[in-house]
Amino acid sequence: LKNLLKDPGLLETRGYVGGAWVEGDKGTFDVTNPARGDVIAQVSDLSREQAAEAIAKAEVAQKEWAQWTGKERAGVMRKWFDLMMQHQDDLGTILTAEQGKPLAEAKGEIAYGASFIEFFGEEAKRVYGEMIPGHQRDKRLMVIKQPIGVAASITPWNFPNAMITRKAGPALAAGCAFVARPATETPLSAIALAVLAERAGMPAGVFSVVPSSSASEIGKEFCENPGVRKLTFTGSTEVGRILLRQAADQVMKCSMELGGNAPFIVFDDADLDAAVEGAIMCKFRNNGQTCVCANRIYVQDGVYDAFAEKLRARVAAMKVGDGLEDGTDLGPLINHDAIDKVQEHIADAKAKGGEVIQGGEADATNGNFFGPTIITGATRDMAFATEETFGPLAPLFRFDDEDEVIAMANDTIFGLASYFYAKDLSRVYKVAEALEYGIVGVNTGIISTEVAPFGGVKQSGLGREGSHHGIEDYLEMKYVCLSI
């Protein structure tokens, strides 16, 4: 992997704690390339004590960082952003090697990830307070916003760069210090971010990375250490619940970006070709391994067969392969468990009357590859109706009318992203308002941007990331009552 990089210094394998590069007290753990299964790095395995040390150093550094002006913090963040973009190719290569997504997508993630550092650096200057007219003649009321303190993050493997920057951007801009625990599968992208933070002149202790093979150990330290004032997590609803319970003892502020089960609805007045393109982007980006990927595709009766055929033709032409090779549309899944889950969902659907019209097979020669799959005749008793598949499986449900599909779309504990294609203006308003989701894409399959608030309702999470709202998750409000 080092040979593929223009700047081999980006491939660092140690942890970054309080501005120092550290070996792991617990030795190392292996990082493998999901496309080939070979070990690409041995990364320092930090202990719970080392996580505590990172928190202690962050507490000290945060006091000073919070004193910096917004413009000063913005200056360092701008340099960090510039370095990420300068090294976009190398960062993308590292990301593809550890995560599997095609290189073009990986580079796209680097630009997306970097955009949060740029955007929130700019926002650092705009953490405005408020003056409230006094409730008595001698009173002057003022509201100021201050950083919460040390923020700790736990992030998943599907976006090894952007899930960290989306949290670190607003945290650092607000004046919080940040301790990141990347996913065990993908620590290299996180560590590369630390290399660039150091080069950008980020003060020691403000941004630390604690790679570890034991998520639960580090998670406990983050929840139990009184030095941490804010926990920010992206991952499954199941683990989110565990962390919320653990964080309760300290009444810690939490942001949670949890699972989704996104509906993608195609009404009979939709532009079908656009809907097919949207479905491809939305379903198969990162091989279906994003929390905003379409999980249930609902197609109105009148256009069902035409949509299924157009989608099948597009999907049949997609190339599955090593993400580092040219022309790859879909990389491997992250590991064999992910393949098993897709296969279980296909078997379950077939047993209940679903028909596989495309794909359905794992590539026997190469463990983690799976052909993109379409199932027609999907029904609400099938597993994917209630559970995220997190893989390249597109089930097509048939529906008759608007109210019926809204009810089906909302019939889930999740509420992250939703999508629909329609042209009728009153239908567009009605459905957008009726969907119980934090995000609605209308006539588009791609909704992520740093300038908009990303987050879920119901059991998909707490808080929002991105946009000017995103920084609020890292700020405390203080009311000052002055008698003159």
Task: Give the residue numbers annotated as catalytic, written as ranges.
Answer: 257
Closest C-alpha to 48, from 210, 270, 273: 210
Nearer to ligand ADP, 35 or 154 (CB): 154
| Residue choice 147, 156, 288, 331 for contact with ligand ADP (CB under 6 A) | 156
Helix (H) or strand (E) holding 357: strand 355-358
Backbone φ and ψ for 314, nearest 5 degrees, come out as -65, -45
Nearer to ligand ADP, 152 or 405 (CB): 152
Of the pair 96, 290, the CB lying nearest ligand ADP is at 290
244: contact with ligand ADP by CB under 6 A: no
Least distance from ligand ADP to the Cβ atom of residue 210, Å: 11
Whether 393 and 354 have beta carbons less than 8 Å apart is answered as: no
* 448 residue type, one letter: S
Q: Name the helix (H) or strand (E) containing 58.
A: helix 48-67
CB of 163 to ligand ADP, least distance (A): 9
144 lies in the binding site for ligand ADP (CB under 6 A): no
Q: Is 184 in the site for ligand ADP (CB under 6 A)?
A: yes
Q: Which one, 236 or 386, has the nearer CB to ligand ADP?
A: 236
Q: Taking the complex as a whole, how short is the minimal distance between the CB of residue 110 and ligand ADP, in angstroms?
A: 20
State both tokens at 418.
């939703």
219 belongs to the binding site for ligand ADP (CB under 6 A): yes
**Contacts to ligand ADP from residues 199-218, by CB under 6 A:** 215-216
188 contributes a contact to ligand ADP by CB under 6 A: no
Shortest Cβ 68–ligand ADP spacing (Å): 30
Tell me if 393 sits within 8 A of 384, measured CB to CB: yes
Select the residue interacting with ligand ADP from 56, 141, 242, 452 (CB under 6 A).
242
Nearer to ligand ADP, 214 or 443 (CB): 214
Nearest to 15 by CA among 280, 170, 213: 213
Please give the full DSSP string across 192-251, using - where no structure is assigned: HHHHHHHHHTPPTTSEEE---S-HHHHHHHHHH-TTEEEEEEES-HHHHHHHHHHHHTTT
Considering the rule CB under 6 A, would residue 335 count as an interface residue with ligand ADP?
Answer: no
Give least dist CB 242 to ligand ADP, A: 5
Q: Quick check: 200 and 117 in contact, CB under 8 A?
A: no
**Count residues contacting ligand ADP (CB under 6 A)?**
14
Interface with ligand ADP includes 183 (CB under 6 A)?
yes
Q: Which is nearer to ligand ADP, 236 or 410 (CB)?
A: 236
Please enumerate in sequence order all residues whose Cβ is within 8 A of that of 369, keeping only pairs 6 or more positions apart, or say none. 35, 320, 321, 332, 333, 362, 363
- Whether 45 and 212 have beta carbons less than 8 Å apart is answered as yes
Shortest CB 334 distance to ligand ADP, Å: 8
Binding-site ranges for ligand ADP (CB under 6 A): 154-157, 183-184, 215-216, 219, 235-236, 239, 242-243
